[in-house]
Structure 1
Amino acid sequence: MLDANLKNQLQAYLGNLRQPIRLIASLDDGASSAELRELLQEIAGLSDKVSYDESGSDSRKPSFVIAREGESTGVRFAAIPMGHEFTSLVLALLWTGGHPPKVEAETLETIAALDGDFHFEVYMSLSCHNCPDVVQALSLMAIRNPRIHTTVIDGALFQAEVEARQVMAVPMVFLNGQVFGSGRMSVEEIVAKLDVNSDEREAAKLNAKDAFDVLVVGGGPAGAAAAVYAARKGIRVGVAAERFGGQVNDTLAIENYISVLETNGPKFAADLEAQVRHYGVDIMNLQRAEKLIPASEPGGLVQVQMSNGATLKARSVILSTGARWRNVNVPGEAEYKNKGVAYCPHCDGPLFKGKRVAVIGGGNSGVEAAIDLAGVVQHVTLIEFADALKADAVLVSKLKSLPNVTIHVNAQTTEITGAGGTVNGLSYKDRVSGEIRHVELEGVFVQIGLVPNTEWLKGTLELSRFGEIVVDAKGHTNVDGVFAAGDCTTVPYKQIVIAAGDGAKASLSAFDYLIRQPVVAAGEAVAA
């Protein structure tokens, strides 16, 4: 199972175990059980602090529990955690063995204090780059609180179970048998949903903060660059973000960021956050902005009201709220989201193995998704509104060479249909003949671009007809002391490298603005 290099690395990691642990397997006579047995025996052979036995009796086979010596409960994997989940396995081994996690002490204390019995089941796929964050968060919670139980389930390994519970997107989390959430979630987000008093406490902490010289709203590449450039000027900088990294977290491969030959979205996002923290920036995660209040007088403080009731103040604000996947906005899309309607082919594609799916969108993202899915599913139908595919010629040529792909151009999606709570088809209008046609299928992947996260700014500053923040060449908005950068603005070509450059530019403009303002009283903000 493990090559020599991986064994050496894992053996080095296992040297950090502080107490013995057990790997308790529940197996049958199947090939997957044999594969899991081989993996667990190899792991146990790498450290005298790891033992292995097959005394488990769980109904899900194959599966195994990572437990402390003398115990029989812990994090359970109903999976052979390789691929993207190998790191989750290693961390679960280390944390169970007493190695401290790199999580804020306050978060760990909150986890330990959660009152209640929580039985989590998280469905994932080994090809899902969004799943490890959720798997690792719920694993950590089970290890730190004995009343929290976590089972990690590979949807591809337990296909019948996935179909019975109508799991059609990963990660999908059930709590005590009911749907808890889907998509990427950090441990802080999960804890906040369980801790009923978290919003009130967080709001009080934010309200107590002094005014910032620069407050960045949004933590994607633009926000991170803005924060770094501002902090290097020696001024007081804060970043308020829903999740640091933003849309980058949902990107599988990044191969066009200059000087970085190849990386992935989650790693890139983590690197962004690490560099921002290096400069002492006050990062406020899990914060959604709801209202911008311009300064009441020239050079005054701009205010940003948050969804938890807090208000942050700053001498200047940089808006870098990014964008999100654009919806088709047809009947059935919202109703069947995560029940056949999906947005990440890499994450959710394996759940549609052997089934029929559609991809809406003929740009690079749509065509790449169709090519990717064609290797997994029975058949792909690509729906494009325009009269030709807009993707790069090499991608279009590759797509057209695949035997299990059908392409419809001049096709306007009109409805996503379903029965029994899941998708069963898609209707589209032939824009040439006007005829309405229906395609029977089990999944729909939406790939039609992005929409800026700027609804909360309507009526406050100038937006384009597409909802983008209107900025000039230096990142100024039409509001004094407010700047903007990245995918939420009118700057063309929504690319990571462009967003980062925009963030740096907006930050330099904000600093130029600050040094031309009167020096404020001590305690209100750090003087420029």
Structure 2
Amino acid sequence: MLDADLKSQLKSYLEKVVQPIEIVASLDDSATAREMQELLQEIVLLSDKISLVERRDDKERKPSFSINRPGSDIGVRFAGVPMGHEFTSLVLALLQVGGHTIRFDDAVIEQIRNLDGDYVFETFISLSCHNCPEVVQALNAMAVINPRIKVTTIDGGVFPQEVEARQIMAVPMMFLNGEHFGQGRTSVEEILAKLDTNAGARQAAELSKKDVFDVLIVGGGPAGAAAAIYASRKGIKTGVLAERFGGQVLDTLAIENFVSVTETDGPKFAVALEQHVKQYEVDIMNTQRAVQLAPGKLIEVTTASGAVLKSKSVILATGARWREINVPGEKEYRNHGVAYCPHCDGPLFKGKRVAVIGGGNSGVEAAIDLAGLVKHVTLIEFGAELRADAVLQRKLRSLANVTVIVSAQTSEINGDGKIVNGLSYTDRNSGASHRVELEGVFVQIGLVPNTEWLKGVVGLSRHGEIEVDARGQTSVPGVFAAGDVTTVPFKQIVIAVGEGAKAALAAFDHLIRSDDVAEEAAAPVAIAA
């Protein structure tokens, strides 16, 4: 099942295992069980510290397997065969159960250890989901740190009856002690914030104690990361306040146009950004959302947790998010048939009928991807013609199970109160109303800047973007902006990186020309004889 190169790499990783591991496989007669058995038998041969027990008469989900540390309560479970994006999760689980160091901050590890309660997590994933591994790996590591936390990762494609029964139409989907806990890409800090209800107040108090920054960057995407690197290299006190480091890049599948990087994917690129920033003296404050900006000699940024940070200059790099169509049914059926990530959630609609709203590149690419999985795709475009590149349009129109409808305004997403069962639209030429019977709707109509919290503070365009000059300066002295949140055209990663670097240089130039710095520069300097 594993090719020679993969076996060689895995064998070298497993040399880091320091404690015995027992894998207990719960098997049935399915093809997936045979595939799982083959994978586990191959893994056991790669390390003398790993043993395998096969069972068919236990009461666990079948097929599934647990990775346990003998003589302890430490273990994690996979229901399904964790290949694809989840193979890394499998490798990390083996290493961590086997005693290898878990790379969390000491404070996070201590917070996990101190959780008081019994937590049983079930996480539904798809193997093509690039957002799922972060959740799986976070929960697995938490279970190794605190044995009162039990986790099972469930491949929805292997257990469709459970997916149907729990009405799961988006992944990753987390359940805690049988109740819905959350969905979507979620970091360990975000999980802890929901479990440890006092954590927010403690964090806010600690953040508010921080000294004044020279430059505070709000946002941890490509623009924010570049700004942090350039600012720190100037030797000034630099902080990054980020709701999630990586930003919109985390939701990007393939990146093939970042100069000097032939091919990568969003999550890998985001990790590389953070690792690069951490090479410098940058104070990264993750899982923190800014809600207020107060200009002044010292600019104040208030977070949703109540913390107040002060800085001599600020760079706004809050990026953008998926634009919603704002019709009846969209919010009601989000994650119950309404989705925004075809790569993550597409496999859950296998054999079903879906619609894609949006005829730009993202919409047409989504329709092409989904056509290989679902029964039928209906693409809905508001304009009179598709806006995607010609090569994508040719590919789309070559697919037999795709219908393209143009000059159509989506009016409602229909459902039965639980899940989506249709979509209504108006023909913009005739005014006639139509309904399409389907089970899923993927919204792909572009991005909206994250600037609601800045209205009335900095100058915004009619589209809500921050207006900036050639140096990234906003309408407020000392406040700069960069990336997709600004009026700079062409929302591309490479452009955001350049704009972030430029904003940092402009902020530094602003600082050295400020009164405080000028006074310091004018102070007498002792010269040794």
TM range (shorter): over 0.9
Distance in 2 between the 1:290 and 1:509 partners?
Answer: 24
How well do the aligned residues superpose, as a CA RMSD in angstroms?
A: 1.3
Matches of 1:506 and 1:17, distance apart in 2:
45
- 1:43 maps to what in 2? 43
Who is 2:490 aligned against?
A: 493
* TM-score, normalisation: structure 1: 0.97
Deviations 1:403-425 (A, max 9, x none): 00000000000000001400000
Q: Does 1:394 align with 2:391?
A: yes
The equivalent residue for 1:275 is 276
Match of 1:181 in 2: 182
Question: 2: distance between equivalents of 1:29 and 1:310?
Answer: 56
Deviations 1:69-113 (A, max 9, x none): 245762110010000000000000000010011111111111111
Partner in structure 2 of residue 454 of structure 1: 451
**Which amino acid in 1 is paired with 2:43?**
I
Give TM-score scaled by structure 2 length.
Answer: 0.97
Task: Look up the match of 1:526.
Answer: none
Matches within 5 A, 1:418-433: 418-433=415-430
Residue 65 of structure 1 aligns to a residue in which SS?
strand
1:478 match: 475
For the pair 1:19 / 2:19, whether they are aligned, the reply is yes
Q: Post-superposition shift, 1:459? A: 0.9
Q: How does 1:12-411 map to 2 (within 5 A)?
A: 12-55=12-55, 57-70=58-71, 74-295=75-296, 300-411=297-408
Q: How far 1:31 sits from its partner (Å)?
A: 0.8
Q: Secondary structure at the match of 1:421?
A: coil
Question: Partner letter of residue 181 of structure 2?
Answer: F
Report the CA distance shift for 1:32/1:429 in structure 2 as closer, same or farther (over 3 A). same
**8 Å Cα contact 2:511-2:517 kept in structure 1:** no
- Partner Cα separation in structure 1 for residue 289 and residue 321 of structure 2: 14
SS in 2 for 1:111: helix
Q: Deviations over 1:261-294 (max 9, x none)?
A: 0111011111111111101111000110010000
| Residue 472 of structure 1: how far off its partner (Å) | 0.8
State the alpha-carbon separation in 1 of the partners of residues 379 and 473 from structure 2: 40
Aligned pair partner of 2:506 in 502, 506, 509: 509
Unaligned runs of 5+ in 2: 521-529
Greater shift after overlay, 125-134 or 46-55? 46-55
Separation of aligned partners in 1, 2:518 and 2:230? 24
Q: Which residue of 1 aligns with 2:437?
A: 440
**SS of equivalent residue, structure 1 residue 34:** helix
* Partner residue, 2:525: none
Can you give the 5+ residue segments of structure 1 that lack an aligned partner in the other structure?
524-528
State the shift of 1:494 in Å. 0.5
Q: Which amino acid aligns with 2:465?
A: E
* Alignment size in residue pairs: 519
C-alpha offsets along residues 353-374 of structure 1, whole Å, 9 cap, x if unaligned?
A: 0000000000000000000000
Deviations for 1:9-58, whole angstroms, at most 9, x for unmatched residues? Answer: 11111111111011101111111111100000100111110000113624
- Do 2:170 and 2:344's aligned partners in 1 also have CA atoms closer than 8 Å? yes
1:10 to 1:58, Cα distance in 2 relative to 1, 3 A: farther
**AA in 2 matched with 1:313:** K
Measured in 2, the distance between the counterparts of 1:103 and 1:112 equals 12
The offset of 1:146, in angstroms, is 1.3
The amino acid that maps onto 1:29 is D
State the one-letter code of the partner of 2:309: L
Q: Would you identify which runs of 4 or more consecutive aligned residues in structure 1 move more than 4 Å?
A: 520-523
Question: Partner of 1:212: helix, strand, or coil?
Answer: coil
Contact 2:123 2:154 in 1 (8 A): yes
Q: Is the 8 A contact 1:65 1:73 kept in 2?
A: no
Cα distance in 1 between the residues matched to 2:381 and 2:59: 47
2:409 aligned partner: 412
Deviation (angstroms), 1:521: 11
Contact 2:74 2:143 in 1 (8 A): no
Q: Does 1:467 align with 2:464?
A: yes
- Conserved in 2, the CA contact under 8 Å of 1:24 and 1:72? no
> Separation in 2 of the partners of 1:180 and 1:284?
24
Q: Distance in 2 between matches of 1:262 and 1:319?
A: 28
- Equivalent position amino acid for 1:317 in 2: V
Question: CA contact under 8 A between 1:95 and 1:140: conserved in structure 2?
Answer: yes
Match of 1:9 in 2: 9
CA distance in 1 between partners of 2:107 and 2:395 (Å) = 51
Which amino acid is the alignment partner of residue 260 of structure 2? S
The one-letter code of the counterpart of 2:182 is G
C-alpha contact (below 8 Å) 1:384/1:412 kept by paired residues: yes
User: SS in structure 2 opposite 1:278?
Assistant: coil
Given residue 517 of structure 1, which amino acid in structure 2 is its aligned partner?
A: S
Q: Are the counterparts in 2 of residues 121 and 151 from structure 1 also a CA contact under 8 Å? A: yes
Tell me by how many angstroms 1:520 deviates. Answer: 5.8
| Separation (CA, whole Å) in 1 of partners of 2:495 and 2:355 | 31
Aligned-pair distance for 1:59?
3.6
- Measured in 1, the distance between the counterparts of 2:120 and 2:73 equals 16
The letter of the residue matching 1:41 is Q
Shift of 1:211: 0.5
CA drift at 1:182: 0.4
Distance in 2 between the 1:73 and 1:104 partners?
20
